[in-house]
Amino acid sequence: MGNNRILIVDDDPGVRDSYKEILYPTCAENIVARGASLFDGPTQDTQPVGQKQYDLVLAETGEEGVKAVEAAVEQRSPFAAAFIDMKMPGMDGAETAKRIWAINPNMKIVIVTAYSEHTPDDIIRVTGRDDLFYLRKPFNPEEIRQFARAFANQWNIEMERKILSGKLAQANKELEDMNKRLQERVEEQAAMLVQSEKMASMGVLSAGIAHEINNPISFVSGNLSALKGYSNKIVQLLQRYVEIERHIDEGKMDTIPALMEEIGRFKDDEELDFILEDIVNLVDESLEGTRRVSKIVNDLRTFSRVDEAELKCVNLNETMDTTLNLVWNELKYKPEIIKDYADLPEVKCFCRKISQVFMNILVNAAQSIEKSGTIKIVTRHIQDGRRAEDAHVEIRISDTGSGIPKKQLSKVFDPFFTTKPVGQGRGLGMSISYDIIKAHGGKITVDSKEGAGATFIINLPLEAKL
């Protein structure tokens, strides 16, 4: 049910009684008839007993009407509407309406006025609002009932709308909160997946580096073992020469020939001439092994340095070579690496991230080659125009592997897409690579035919456009 509270403001007690009987019928039909006569309406239009009743408050003056509205607002039982006589002693209807709206701007107000009284424009100038309703005297009681029904229903509709609007706002807020939590969860999961992919890449990288370091360490270790044996024999030889020196100091010159003969036999038996020659080779090999280990460690340090928050000016040819050294264990058995490097200007970028892109493409290329093939790396400095921003660096990495079916080319950079068997790839490497290149203001594309290899083309501006 709508708000059925109606305020009547009229200085004529007979009119107030008529409002009461029109909107609050009783069994006294003669009073209803009197009201109809008063408002110049036919008696047959009056409603029968039992029609909808309204909670009426009757006020004799505008001041009383204003006080009634104040009390209603304080009690949180506002009026839905008011019927206000325009011509009253003291505060007239227009001023009364203005004062009432200052207290409760949502009330509907009907100004009851004779044709000879104020025009609507006059009343609007006083109230400052143009949403007034007017009822001209004389009027039919049914007009009063229709206004009352409409205002009560409208009040209810507006209140329901406000309630629904509040609920909708709350629902929207809850939905926004839920979306925010969901977004945070998605970002968290995405970060975990990206980290997982990085860890998988680092696993491949670590295994390759361990293998590459293990080889030189193994032969250095073997050479050191051999050198230890050689050193023992040389020590024994030196001990024999020390014995000869002692005999000479003691004047035992007659024992010298026998000792020299024994030294000769020892040198022949232990192959000391070969040992002395082999020592040089063992040292050279060991130095080469330590140099290889040092280079791998330096390349790894270059790759893993913490430069996430700082752009670096780097030569991408050098970055590519560093990456090749780090993933060499994945490349050295199947593909032949062909380099076609051009002189490149330095590119301002996140070096580690670009190296990660190179690593993802190179490892994928090697894995796409079943037995043997080639990986060709071409770098070029491209100048499309005269402006500095027209220059960029292009890197092409081509392989002779299995290639990518045409229908799958558009999905290569999609998250979780992979052409590898189940369990051998998460499908995030190329998606991460795409995001890295895009974040630098660059572009990465792929050209491939099934069975004819693939070419990844990377274009990077000379300065990252972040």
Question: What's the pLDDT tens digit per position in 178-227?
Answer: 888 887 776 666 666 655 555 555 556 666 666 667 777 877 888 888 88
The CA distance from 320 to 340, in Å, is 12
Architecture of the structural domain at 5-139: 3-Layer(aba) Sandwich (3.40)
Same fold, 5-139 and 312-461: no
pTM of the model: 0.46
Mean pLDDT of all residues in 168-184: 85
Compute φ and ψ for 437, nearest 5 degrees.
-65, -40
- For the chain, give the mean pLDDT: 80
| Per-domain residue ranges of the chain | 5-139, 193-304, 312-461
CA 459, CA 382: separation in Å to the nearest integer? Answer: 9
Q: Cβ(141)–Cβ(46) under 8 Å?
A: yes
Q: Does domain 312-461 have CATH number 3.30.565.10?
A: yes
Between 419 and 109, whose confidence is greater? 109
Dist. CA 449–CA 434, nearest whole Å: 20
* Band (333; pLDDT cuts 50, 70, 90): confident
Is residue 40 over pLDDT 90?
no
Q: Please report, as a single letter, which amino acid is at residue 326.
A: L
Closest of 144, 109, 114 to residue 128, by C-alpha: 109
pLDDT in tens, 217-244: 877 888 888 888 888 888 988 898 898 8
Number of Cβ atoms within 10 Å of the Cβ of 328 = 17
Least confident of 98-107, 299-308, 318-327: 299-308
Give kind and range of the element (H or E) at residue 278: helix 272-304
pLDDT at position 406 = 81
